[in-house]
Structure 1
Amino acid sequence: MSGNEREKIRHLLVVQDLQGQRTIILHEATYSIGRHSSNAIILYSRSVSRQHAILLRVTVPGTEQYGFRIIDGNFKGQGSTNGLIVNGERCVSHNLRHGDIIHFGSNQAQAKYYAISNLSEEALNESVNADNLSDFLTEQSQPVTPFHTLVVDPNFEGASDAALARLASFPEMIPNPIIETDLEGNLTYLNPAATVKFPRLREMGKEHPILEGILTEVQNRKVNSFVREVQFGQEVFEQSVHFLAESDLIRTYIIRDITEQKQAELELYQRDRLLEAVARAANYLLGEMDYETGVDKALAVLGEAAKVDRAYLFKNHFHPLTGEIAVSLQCEWTRFPLPTSRHHWQNQLYELPALSRWYTVLSNGQLINGITKDFPANEQGILLRDGIQSLLLVPLRLDEQFCGFLGLADCTQERIWSQHEESALLTMAASISGAWQRQQVEEKIRYQALHDLLTGLPNRLLFDELLGKALANATRSNESLAVIFLDLDRFKIINDTLGHTLGDRLLQSVAQRLQTSLRSGDTVARWGGDEFTILLPRIHFLEEVTQVAWRILKAFENVFYLEGHELYVSASLGIALLDEHSPDAETLIQHADTALYHAKDEGRNNYQFYTTSLSAKTPDILNLDKNLRYALERGEFTVYYQPQINLYSEQITGMEALLRWQHSEMGIVAPSVFIPLAEESGLIVTIGEWVLRTACQQNRAWQDAGFNPLIIAVNLSPKQFRQPNLVETVAQILAETGLEPQYLELEITESTAIEDIEFTKKVLYDLEAMGVHLSIDDFGTGHSSLSRLQLLPLHNLKIDSSFIRELTTDTRVAHIVKAIVTLGRSLGLKLTAEGVEKQEEIDFLKSIHCEDVQGFYFHRPLSAEKATEVLQRKSGRSQ
């Protein structure tokens, strides 16, 4: 045994508990002692705490030697249950000396400490298993003198209370970062783990994320300890903060790195957001009557949930020029006011190098997912023009065919798309494809129900529907229209001699020639057999009708070449004009049919009018236009009023103002004649202001006369509605006439409302803010829906008279009116039925709770004097 070996200090702890005696050679810098199996030294006794004490290696001041200090409690500074007793005295901590006896709360668990230097390695190993260990150590060794009276220098850092508390939590040894600051935020201590983990902590001080805001939180929370979460770069930590009031210190521990936990929580949160968004989007796609509106809402809710910059829907189609497969952007949503990319994505051929790979991947049912810089160069070009840095695309399929794709794009960062985002986009694509398929099925069913399968032309049902709407528009716009009944001459001979197949081919060719002979906006329908009906709306001159009739006859002069046959076919035409003799759809068709027979009687291959020419029944247009310009200053205009009646109380709830023109020479000029002229010339703006002022004055006069206040309804023409100073004009007229805004209702037609929905919204909201009531006139004729009109601040819907006329004869129309009333009432709108003339109509409207009506059944339009008399009778007053 060498001298160096004999001088080596040996530290032993001889433990005695319920399982007997054992010797522990102390090599490590720190030991935890307690009942729990996680301790370095386990004591088998119920009186011992789970972690009862800490054994800490301490350097002896002024030497290179060290001893051990025992500290009561666990690493968090929490004391044991039954205390620590050294040499018979209870203590919190103690610098161990050779021969010290330690009791851990009772006599069931104790230990004796030895520090010796004259013991060889072999003797040391023998001592560990010796039965008479105490005698053996006494005989074989002598204690090292410094440890007889081991005293730590009072000036040594480890002797202070603060240092003792620090030692009790083992800051120098444990791998968790520990930081201390004073109450001004100055760093007073960092353990090695904190220095390694946060190398710039001393440099940044309280500005460092780990210390940022701690002083404020300590003051605000008013507790001595709490746990918070802090983020440092991409990492998230759980930080325990302790305010040591007795030392004016704040000690923080980084308990654990919860970055992965937070990422998992964030992923779960994002997954839930996406699932919720997909569910909401599916509801939009199912609930919206308009497919594109549903898609717009679905893209918006998904884009918001995914926090992307753009969401797209692209549709495949054939290129209009080349016929090759191409793609176009159908719908787009952007988070910020980004420039639209729609003009970049119209009629883009897949055969282009930038899109060929996309077609291959997507048509095979695969995804495109990546960062723009990783895409091929030609693809980068089309993405970077829209500022796209990351892109996710999934295919859309319809009947197992690749029909387009759905995409998310990020323009602000290089984003890695998650599996949840891929899954959400795939689910959304399936929902959109389903909605798309439903739309196509519905359109196909509607098309088949409303079109002739042989020629593809509208059938009788659709023609009746279009004619009804055209009549309503003509009445509202003060225009005329014409219906032509056409029959092929001697078609039966061709059909019987050459067969029905050739006859069908001939009918298809006839349909094509008829379509090319008409004006834009005209309609040709197959009525049945070899009969066709033609609708010519918006007629101002008789010559317009004769020109169309002449072109149709001219189209039949050319031979039909069909299956080797040269066929010469002519046609006979009967024409009926909208006038006092033909005021409705049924009469128009009947009169056109009658005129057709006259054409056949006249030798076929010609056209005949049911009545005399249109120019004989209406004033000369040019002369009328000249007189119209002076009508207002000559006082030839007057306003009539048609009462609106509540079906249950039979009281008058309002009046509609209607313009009439009494010319000194021409007599009464129909509104259907002069209103279009006024609209075209711009005079309608001045005339409309006069009507509005006159109606407001009359309503105020009725109120001043003591009648119950009622609402006066005034129609605004399209040109008048689009005047930039309309709101100011209305306000000025109300101020001049003294009529309160709530007693004025302004009506616009459905087609005017939906022509520019954003402009309409702005004007109507301004008028509503003023207090004016707002109404849609002739609802049901403008091909819109309540889902669009509900965007507007409306108070009243006026159901078009064309629906009311067919209430008792067409169950389909009755269902439509009932649906309109139900939806309108659910939106809080007042419903007014126009054109009510029969008791059966009133009974039906009562049954569906449509309370207000207007029509000849109660009152025709009345002069101001006659309207006043009606109000007097209703109020029970004499004149």
Structure 2
Amino acid sequence: MSGNEREKIRHLLVVQDPQGERTIPLKEATYSLGRHSGNAIVLRSRSVSKQHAILLRVTLPQTDQYGFRVIDGNFNGKGSTNGLFVNGSKCSYHDLKHGDVIIFGDNQAQATYYAISNLSEKAFSESCQVDDLSVFLSEQANPVNPFQTLVVDPSFEGASDTALARLASFPELIPNAIIETDLEGTVTYLNPAASLKFPKIRETGKQHPILAGLLSAVKNLEKNSFVREVEVGTEVFEQSVHYLPESDLIRTFIVRDITEQKQAEAELHQRDRLLQAVAEAANYLLMEMNYETAIDKALATLGEAAKVDRAYFFQNHPHPDTKEISVSLRFEWTRLSLEPSRHHWQNQPYQVSGLARWYTALSSGQSISGLSQEFPAAEREHLTRDGIQSLLLVPLRLDNDFWGYIGLADCTCERHWSRHEESTLLTMAASIIGARQRQQVEEKIRYQALHDFLTGLPNRLLFNEMLATALPNARRNSESLAVMFLDLDRFKVINDTLGHTLGDELLRSVAQRLKDSLRGGDTLARWGGDEFTILLPRVNHIEEVSQVAQRMLQALENVFPLQGHELYVNASLGIALLDQNSPDAETLIQHADAALYHAKDKGRNNYQFYSVSLSAKNPELLTLEKNLRYALERAELTVYYQPRVNITTGQITGMEALLRWQHPEMGLVAPNVFIPLAEESGLIVPIGEWVLQTACNQNKAWQDAGLPPLMMAVNLSLKQFRQPNLVETIARILEQTGLEAQFLELEITETTAIEDLNFTRTVLQELEQMGVYISIDDFGTGHSSLSRLQMLPLHNLKIDRSFIQDLTTDVKVAHIIKAIVSLGQSLGLRLTAEGVEKEEELEFLKSINCEDVQGFLFYRPLTVQKATEILYSQSTKL
């Protein structure tokens, strides 16, 4: 066909979308199609991209004929969201033929292309207004395929469709790279963009990443096109591959550079991985009882997640010889193939070892990061020993002091550390510091639980632990050991006449003299009050024990000059030796105690060894125990009530039931005298049940009288708690008294709670399901920690009065109380301080947000009548 006006091809596009159908004569060289109103052809559908496709006029040199090529995406080479389909097949571009149907994303927007010859200009214009275009065109013109009817110059005769397409302006001008190869992998065509982007692709051939694997991929294709991602150095591209079987060519089109997208995805993945690692590590640091094990696990988790070769934990300390500030590697994680480097980093003074820059930066809160080759020579020498190529360090600050630092190291490449890695390491540092602070608090609490506040000596719990450890050692070494009970004679007179302050100072001085009298390896403990226990772990001759006892009594003979007074004290000593009559810890202590009473009976200020004849119990105690057995039936027992007060409002929120024994002859017997007797004899079980019944009855009576409901707290002794029918007993009492379970709070001591954690958890869970509240009483005096107690279903934590008494005189105690309150609240526990007697104690507790208090500052233990009066008085003020 010639290129004259009579045979000129006319091009039409019939567009259909949700807003109707319209016919567009194609007269321009380029059209953009899409949802945005700035497009030449607007497609009104939400599934269409803002600029979905390009319609490009394609001409052949030396002819006046042309066709149109539709191309997916915008002018920047970015593909549409939902794709381009021609005659049902998805494509990146397509040379349009008469009748081709183009679908943009889905069926809501489409267009039909018509190419007609022998159509006049007038008819061409009229075609845009007709209703049935296909009928109109059949009457007015002949449909043609422009790519088949174009007249080609003789010099182009025999040229393939591919060769003709290369001559079109579009491939030469677009910024996207186009590469063609034959089926041998030889590059047959590069457009200018490809030559610029991949200058060595012709020489590299099919080894080049853009062409690698194409031949084998094409052979296994079910369709003639596919899309893949290709890495070229540090860049990543999306590549569209088309196999042209009629031309034996493979054409690839670099759709877009997705390097930044991949980098963002990788960075996001790395951030998520690091965040998960920090969460896991924080969990180890919070839950693991062993601090060193927790650090090892945390470093391993971080090292694996960060994909590094080494993870470090360094700690500052004075040099053992020069006392200079130095640093040592305390913990390290390495990949399995690497040798640990701990011996390189021990006792390194910052100034002398060339690490002064590290100290300056880290101590001021800055991080250190970079490539080893960029570090100063002295620092590089340290790093070279471990093969480190890249290093990241962040400081550890404990109580505002530069305590050390943690770090990550890479030995396999020169790594540039991301902000996420530095942020993760800083978060990890905060978790480690938190774990260390928790460890310090627990160490303080444990020390407090195992040592006497006044004298600093081991207390009863620690003494029992040491005795339990010494017994098997003695048997293994075929030795004996001795347990001594020492009691100061008439110490109460000094306390009563000169006051407790002077009495406490005297006890400290006595403790020091007694310690100085012992052999190396012996242990002195304060048992309670003016009683001390002594453990002599290695005994081969009885004379050794006698000599120690004599030295102790002699040490007390000299005057104690205190506060202008000259005080004299003496002591009585009871001794029990490990033998067939005293074979275990409990018996040794009982027999030493019996020997002590024998020494007192002998006139005091002497020591006595236990003998079988002393096995009879002290007559006074026997009489007391006998009377206690009849106390319940004779109605000698009564319950007092001590209010628990909200520290903010001053209102009474609960009552604690306290047992009292009013003997008709002996008068009021102290609880610390008869309660141990009741425990030892088993009387505590029926007595405890009576207290529980009485307290529940009283609480229900107050409610029935119209008083505001409050919590009633009742103590459970160890033997009570271990009763197999405890839960049933409590349920029965609540049913009998009519008191709702939510108004009963049961208190157990730390020692009771941790004696058998599995048993305790089971019982407390049953009580919690019943609705009863659970409280830990006298917290801080037992051998436990909040990390262990958090496994139990607890509601309240009562801080022991021994802490409160020393609150205003010992700053360490204040820190411990603050830590207990903070940790307790973090576990969702309500805090109650016992034994509050001074305004300054109250103000401190108020400042740290302790919720409730008990103590003489507000109320002493009250009779039921007095407690009722106070509750009525409070209710009238509300």
TM-score interval (norm. to shorter)? 0.5 to 0.7
Which residue of 82, 85, 89 maps to 2:115?
A: 85
Relative to 1, partners in 2 of residues 1:583 and 1:39: Cα closer, same or farther, differing over 3 Å?
Answer: closer
Mapping for residues 523-538 of structure 1, pairs under 5 Å? 523-537=523-537
Offset, 1:510? 5.6
CA displacement, residues 549-577 of structure 1 (integer Å, 9 cap, x when unaligned): 68868988999999999999987653212
Q: Which residue does 1:285 correspond to in 2?
A: 285
Mapping for residues 55-94 of structure 1, pairs under 5 Å? 55-56=58-59, 58=61, 60=62, 70-75=66-71, 76-79=93-96, 81=101, 82-83=112-113, 85=115, 87-88=117-118
Counterpart of 1:818, as a letter, is: D
Offset, 1:245? 2.4
Instruction: Give distance in 1, aligned partners of 2:458 and 2:565.
Output: 28
Q: Which residue does 1:816 correspond to in 2?
A: 754
Relative to 1, partners in 2 of residues 1:222 and 1:306: Cα closer, same or farther, differing over 3 Å?
Answer: same
SS, match of residue 343 in structure 1: helix
Offset, 1:269? 0.8
Contact 1:575 1:610 (C-alpha < 8 Å) held by counterparts: yes
CA displacement, residues 398-422 of structure 1 (integer Å, 9 cap, x when unaligned): 3444333222222222222211112
Mapping for residues 453-468 of structure 1, pairs under 5 Å? 453-468=453-468
Instruction: Give distance in 2, aligned partners of 1:489 and 1:283.
Output: 53
Matched, 1:610 2:610: yes
Relative to 1, partners in 2 of residues 1:553 and 1:224: Cα closer, same or farther, differing over 3 Å?
Answer: farther
Offset, 1:152? 1.7
SS, match of residue 296 in structure 1: helix
Q: Which residue does 1:715 correspond to in 2?
A: none
Counterpart of 2:58, as a letter, is: L
Mapping for residues 143-222 of structure 1, pairs under 5 Å? 151-153=152-154, 159-167=159-167, 170-222=170-222
Counterpart of 2:153, as a letter, is: V
Counterpart of 1:32, as a letter, is: T
**Greater shift after overlay, 192-201 or 73-82?**
73-82
Contact 1:393 1:405 (C-alpha < 8 Å) held by counterparts: yes
Contact 1:71 1:168 (C-alpha < 8 Å) held by counterparts: no
Contact 1:484 1:535 (C-alpha < 8 Å) held by counterparts: yes
Q: Which residue does 1:226 correspond to in 2?
A: 226
SS, match of residue 454 in structure 2: coil
Offset, 1:813? 4.8
Instruction: Give distance in 2, aligned partners of 1:105 and 1:240.
Output: 39
Relative to 1, partners in 2 of residues 1:44 and 1:279: Cα closer, same or farther, differing over 3 Å?
Answer: closer
Contact 1:574 1:595 (C-alpha < 8 Å) held by counterparts: yes
Instruction: Give distance in 1, aligned partners of 2:359 and 2:43.
Output: 75
Contact 2:10 2:116 (C-alpha < 8 Å) held by counterparts: no
Contact 1:84 1:103 (C-alpha < 8 Å) held by counterparts: no
Offset, 1:35? 5.9
Contact 1:87 1:102 (C-alpha < 8 Å) held by counterparts: no
Instruction: Give distance in 1, aligned partners of 2:309 and 2:204.
Output: 36
Counterpart of 1:333, as a letter, is: W
Instruction: Give distance in 2, aligned partners of 1:505 and 1:546.
Output: 28
Relative to 1, partners in 2 of residues 1:35 and 1:398: Cα closer, same or farther, differing over 3 Å?
Answer: closer
Relative to 1, partners in 2 of residues 1:34 and 1:560: Cα closer, same or farther, differing over 3 Å?
Answer: closer
Counterpart of 1:276, as a letter, is: Q
CA displacement, residues 572-616 of structure 1 (integer Å, 9 cap, x when unaligned): 65321223322343432232234456667889887653249xxxx
Instruction: Give distance in 2, aligned partners of 1:515 and 1:358.
Output: 46
SS, match of residue 174 in structure 2: coil
Relative to 1, partners in 2 of residues 1:269 and 1:50: Cα closer, same or farther, differing over 3 Å?
Answer: closer
Matched, 1:361 2:361: yes
In structure 2, the gaps of 5 or more residues are: 1-7, 14-21, 45-51, 72-92, 102-111, 130-149, 613-717, 725-747, 764-791, 793-878
Contact 2:182 2:249 (C-alpha < 8 Å) held by counterparts: yes
SS, match of residue 210 in structure 2: coil
SS, match of residue 246 in structure 1: coil
Relative to 1, partners in 2 of residues 1:103 and 1:487: Cα closer, same or farther, differing over 3 Å?
Answer: farther
Mapping for residues 317-332 of structure 1, pairs under 5 Å? 317-320=317-320, 325-332=325-332
Relative to 1, partners in 2 of residues 1:34 and 1:297: Cα closer, same or farther, differing over 3 Å?
Answer: closer
Offset, 1:174? 2.2
Matched, 1:381 2:384: no
Instruction: Give distance in 2, aligned partners of 1:319 and 1:391.
Output: 25
Contact 2:398 2:433 (C-alpha < 8 Å) held by counterparts: yes
Instruction: Give distance in 2, aligned partners of 1:450 and 1:599.
Output: 28
CA displacement, residues 173-232 of structure 1 (integer Å, 9 cap, x when unaligned): 322222222333333322232222222212221111111122233344533211111111
Offset, 1:238? 0.9
Matched, 1:434 2:434: yes
Mapping for residues 360-759 of structure 1, pairs under 5 Å? 360-468=360-468, 470-471=470-471, 480-486=480-486, 507-508=507-508, 511=511, 522-537=522-537, 573-596=573-596, 608-611=608-611
Counterpart of 1:192, as a letter, is: P
Mapping for residues 322-361 of structure 1, pairs under 5 Å? 325-350=325-350, 352=352, 354-361=354-361
CA displacement, residues 701-748 of structure 1 (integer Å, 9 cap, x when unaligned): xxxxxxxxxxxxxxxxxxxxxxxxxxxxxxxxxxxxxxxxxxxxxxxx
Q: Which residue does 1:753 correspond to in 2?
A: none
Matched, 1:242 2:242: yes
Contact 1:45 1:108 (C-alpha < 8 Å) held by counterparts: no
Counterpart of 2:299, as a letter, is: L
Offset, 1:507? 4.8
SS, match of residue 591 in structure 1: helix
Counterpart of 2:57, as a letter, is: I
CA displacement, residues 535-558 of structure 1 (integer Å, 9 cap, x when unaligned): 244667657756766886898899
**Greater shift after overlay, 268-277 or 360-369?**
360-369
Identity among equivalent pairs (%):
62
RMSD: 5.1
Offset, 1:239? 0.8
Offset, 1:344? 3.6
Offset, 1:525? 1.1
TM (normalized to structure 2)? 0.54
Instruction: Give distance in 2, aligned partners of 1:339 and 1:518.
Output: 49
Offset, 1:258? 1.0
Relative to 1, partners in 2 of residues 1:232 and 1:285: Cα closer, same or farther, differing over 3 Å?
Answer: same
Counterpart of 1:815, as a letter, is: A
Instruction: Give distance in 1, aligned partners of 2:538 and 2:123.
Output: 111
Offset, 1:431? 1.9
Instruction: Give distance in 1, aligned partners of 2:563 and 2:534.
Output: 28
Contact 2:484 2:535 (C-alpha < 8 Å) held by counterparts: yes
Counterpart of 1:74, as a letter, is: V
Contact 2:12 2:114 (C-alpha < 8 Å) held by counterparts: no
CA displacement, residues 846-872 of structure 1 (integer Å, 9 cap, x when unaligned): xx9xxxxxxxxxxxxxxxxxxxxxxxx
Offset, 1:103? 10
Relative to 1, partners in 2 of residues 1:430 and 1:39: Cα closer, same or farther, differing over 3 Å?
Answer: closer
Counterpart of 1:153, as a letter, is: P
**Greater shift after overlay, 585-594 or 437-446?**
585-594
Offset, 1:532? 2.5
Aligned length, in residue pairs: 560
Instruction: Give distance in 2, aligned partners of 1:215 and 1:503.
Output: 98
Relative to 1, partners in 2 of residues 1:398 and 1:194: Cα closer, same or farther, differing over 3 Å?
Answer: same
Counterpart of 1:185, as a letter, is: G
Relative to 1, partners in 2 of residues 1:84 and 1:52: Cα closer, same or farther, differing over 3 Å?
Answer: farther
Instruction: Give distance in 2, aligned partners of 1:460 and 1:334.
Output: 45
SS, match of residue 254 in structure 2: strand
CA displacement, residues 654-709 of structure 1 (integer Å, 9 cap, x when unaligned): xxxxxxxxxxxxxxxxxxxxxxxxxxxxxxxxxxxxxxxxxxxxxxxxxxxxxxxx
Counterpart of 2:408, as a letter, is: L
Q: Which residue does 1:54 correspond to in 2?
A: 57
SS, match of residue 227 in structure 1: strand
Counterpart of 1:152, as a letter, is: D
